[in-house]
């Protein structure tokens, strides 16, 4: 009989009040933060709208990547009302390249709720903020703590790592008992902090700069005398890496379909799925060992109900999503007949290549678009050699 796979045993979680009633810890952390930290645009404002936008953009995304997006977004959508009345297409266009597009869709939807139910203002109640689309407990706590000084814990990936090391908990961050423990630890620490906003910022800053996911630089750490992992010399082993899962790989064929006046056909992905609301060149997964040109022809016939001839290859590119990888092959195609009747798209249109840049595309499709634009053959099919 096959042996049942068992999860690694969870280490005993330490009693939480280790650092409780230790104001020296809070003072050391606060003094370190006060001596200098990164000057980030969202740290210069108490405006809950701006803090909210930054917190959503920072989910799964690096600070340096976020800054230009944040600035462009706020230049265009200066307040909740402006965001709520914008077209989702425009919001997605400004989000293009940042990834995790559900964040943009939720931000737009939540802005509508704030206008309808809260007079365009962010509520001051944790449960109400937490109830907005795309806003989890940590994001809600951040908004209320940084905007109004409310005493809520913040638990982003950096803070989780710091807490696990401070208490020498050799566990991965993804397991529910560890998560519950982390929340309790973060609550206890923020209870003792003289200034909850500075305290939360300081813990995030520590995790981002000193106690990083690579090798922590404990020699620069303001709280190393309280750190159990450092004391035990185990800071490099904590947290445990998440167990690796095999990442599925798919081979995709897509077509840049040209009509007889040189326009190109694009379709819009369904609003609520992966990459929802973004535009793309039609195509799909290869079946078995079929020829890639056949994949493109078949997928276009099945998805759109039109006939095309598949011509020269434009490019092949690799792309990784969170849970799978793709190798995408893009081909020029010529429209032979039929009016598009998409089965799995919200909209479609024929457009000159020069106008495609007005739409929001997923990253893999942006590369195809760059090649189309760079080729200077916007209205006629041709061969590209990237």
Interface residues with ligand SF4 (CB under 6 A) are: 162, 165-166, 210-211, 216, 218, 221, 223-224, 227, 229-230, 235
Q: Which is nearer to ligand SF4, 216 or 253 (CB)?
A: 216
Q: How far is the CB of 129 from ligand SF4 (least distance, A)?
A: 29
Q: What is the distance between the terminal CA atoms of the chain, rounded to a whole angstrom?
A: 53
Strands (E), the chain: 249-258, 264-268, 279-280, 283-285, 307-320, 325-337, 347-351
Q: How far is the CB of 321 from ligand SF4 (least distance, A)?
A: 31
Q: Which is nearer to ligand SF4, 152 or 230 (CB)?
A: 230
Question: Does residue 370 carry a catalytic annotation?
Answer: no
Q: Which is the catalytic residue, given 5, 9, 55, 191?
A: 55
Closest C-alpha among 23, 21, 58, 52 to residue 148:
52
Question: Are the C-beta atoms of 146 and 154 separated by less than 8 Å?
Answer: no
Q: How far is the CB of 204 from ligand SF4 (least distance, A)?
A: 13
Q: How far is the CB of 203 from ligand SF4 (least distance, A)?
A: 10
Q: Which is nearer to ligand SF4, 219 or 288 (CB)?
A: 219
Q: How far is the CB of 234 from ligand SF4 (least distance, A)?
A: 9
Query: Using alpha carbons only, what angle is made at residue 21 by residues 17 and 26, rounded to the nearest 5 degrees?
Result: 105
Helices (H) and strands (E) in the chain, counts: 15, 7
Q: Which is nearer to ligand SF4, 239 or 340 (CB)?
A: 239
Q: Which is nearer to ligand SF4, 231 or 285 (CB)?
A: 231
Query: Using alpha carbons only, what angle is made at residue 265 by residues 262 and 268, rounded to the nearest 5 degrees?
Result: 155
Distance CA(223)–CA(17), nearest Å, equals 16
For 37, the 3-state DSSP assignment is coil
Distance CA(231)–CA(109), nearest Å, equals 47
Q: Catalytic positions, please?
A: 55
């Amino acid at each position: 009989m096959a042996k049942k796979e068992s999860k690694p045993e969870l280490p005993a979680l330490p009693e939480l009040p280790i650092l409780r009633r230790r104001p020296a810890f809070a003072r050391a952390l606060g003094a370190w933060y006060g001596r200098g930290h990164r000057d980030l645009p969202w740290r210069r404002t108490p405006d809950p709208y701006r803090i909210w936008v930054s917190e959503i953009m920072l989910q799964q995304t690096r600070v340096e990547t976020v800054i230009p997006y944040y600035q462009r977004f706020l230049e265009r959508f200066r307040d909740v009302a402006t965001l709520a009345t914008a077209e989702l297409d425009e919001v997605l266009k400004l989000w293009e390249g940042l990834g995790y597009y559900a964040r943009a869709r939720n931000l737009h939807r939540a802005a509508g709720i704030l206008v309808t139910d809260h007079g365009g203002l962010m509520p001051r109640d944790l449960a109400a903020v937490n109830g907005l689309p795309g806003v989890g407990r940590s994001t809600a706590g951040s908004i209320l703590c940084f905007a109004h000084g409310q005493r809520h814990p913040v638990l982003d990936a950096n803070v989780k790592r710091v807490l696990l090391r401070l208490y020498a908990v050799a566990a991965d961050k993804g397991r529910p008992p560890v998560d519950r423990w982390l929340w309790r630890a973060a609550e206890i620490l923020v209870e003792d902090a003289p200034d909850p906003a500075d305290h939360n910022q300081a813990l995030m800053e520590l995790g981002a700069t000193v106690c990083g996911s690579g090798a922590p630089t404990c020699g620069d750490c303001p709280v190393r005398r309280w750190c159990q992992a450092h004391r035990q010399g185990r800071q490099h082993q904590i947290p445990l890496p998440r167990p690796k899962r095999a990442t599925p790989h798919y081979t995709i064929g897509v077509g840049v379909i040209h009509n007889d006046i040189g326009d190109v056909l694009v379709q819009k992905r369904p609003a609520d799925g992966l990459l929802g609301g973004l535009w793309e060149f039609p195509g799909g997964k290869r079946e078995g060992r079929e020829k890639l040109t056949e994949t493109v022809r078949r997928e276009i016939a099945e998805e759109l109900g039109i006939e095309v001839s598949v011509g020269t290859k434009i490019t092949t590119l690799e792309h990784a999503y969170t849970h799978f990888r793709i190798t995408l092959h893009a081909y020029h195609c010529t429209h032979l007949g039929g009016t598009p009747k998409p089965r799995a798209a919200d909209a479609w249109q024929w457009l000159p290549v020069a106008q495609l840049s007005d739409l929001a595309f997923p990253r893999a499709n942006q590369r195809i678009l760059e090649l189309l634009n760079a080729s200077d053959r916007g209205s006629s099919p041709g061969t590209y050699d990237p």
